[in-house]
A and B are shown apart, each in its own frame.
Chain A
Amino acid sequence: EAGVAQSPRYKIIEKRQSVAFWCNPISGHATLYWYQQILGQGPKLLIQFQNNGVVDDSQLPKDRFSAERLKGVDSTLKIQPAKLEDSAVYLCASSLGGSGEQYFGPGTRLTVT
């Protein structure tokens, strides 16, 4: 089966600019996750969707980050405006249900200068 797809793979922007990341989960996976992984840290959950509804966005900085999963399939994560501390790898993952094994995409490496 095809894995989780993410684009772009790399992005360099200046602070205060906006950026968007795209994720296509494994077909049939109802649950989609966005993680932020800062260098030297483990992944940190930003938001979790079950189909097109938000299950958990408690750690999403809502003043600058937004995410949507229209039609319950693809998802986009947006940062506007970006700050230097947003430099990280953004990982998308999906799973069949709300628990159990998560399948990760290759990630998008964001550098904010």
Chain B
Amino acid sequence: AQRVTQPEKLLSVFKGAPVELKCNYSYSGSPELFWYVQYSRQRLQLLLRHISRESIKGFTADLNKGETSFHLKKPFAQEEDSAMYYCALQAGTALIFGKGTTLSVSS
């Protein structure tokens, strides 16, 4: 079955602390994975995709096919990173989203 699992509903960290948002997937084919973010009162928007291998706003994510994971990381969290983060798997032409993790960064 095609599935995306984000085990943490809420992650609270202090400003300057490292952040890791976990994402595991189940997919029989070659996966294409994304992280989408929704800031307060804003639209859902793409943060990064694994094939681009970019660092966006200091965030990176590496696809680990052995562990079927695509964790999102940032070495030093900022208050403006507080948002809802969704991991998504491209299955054919459809996106399958996880339930999301709320990241709360406090000073």
Q: Does B90 sit at the interface, judged by CB under 8 A?
A: yes
**Closest A residue by C-beta to B41:** A106
Using A42-B4, A43-B44, A104-B43 as known contacts, say yes or no to A99 and B90 having CB atoms under 8 A apart: yes
Q: Does A102 sit at the interface, judged by CB under 8 A?
A: yes
Q: Does B64 sit at the interface, judged by CB under 8 A?
A: no
* Tier of interface size on chain B: 10 to 19
What is the CB-to-nearest-CB distance from A17 to chain B, in angstroms, rounded to a whole number? 28
Q: Is there an interface contact between A42 and B86, defined as CB atoms closer than 8 Å? A: yes
Q: For the complex, what is the distance from the CA of A41 to the CA of B32, rounded to whole Å?
A: 21
Please indicate the chain B residues that have their CB under 8 angstroms from the CB of A103 in the complex.
Answer: 45
Q: Is there an interface contact between B44 and A48, defined as CB atoms closer than 8 Å? A: no
Q: Does A14 sit at the interface, judged by CB under 8 A?
A: no
Please indicate the chain B residues that have their CB under 8 angstroms from the CB of A48 in the complex.
Answer: 93-94
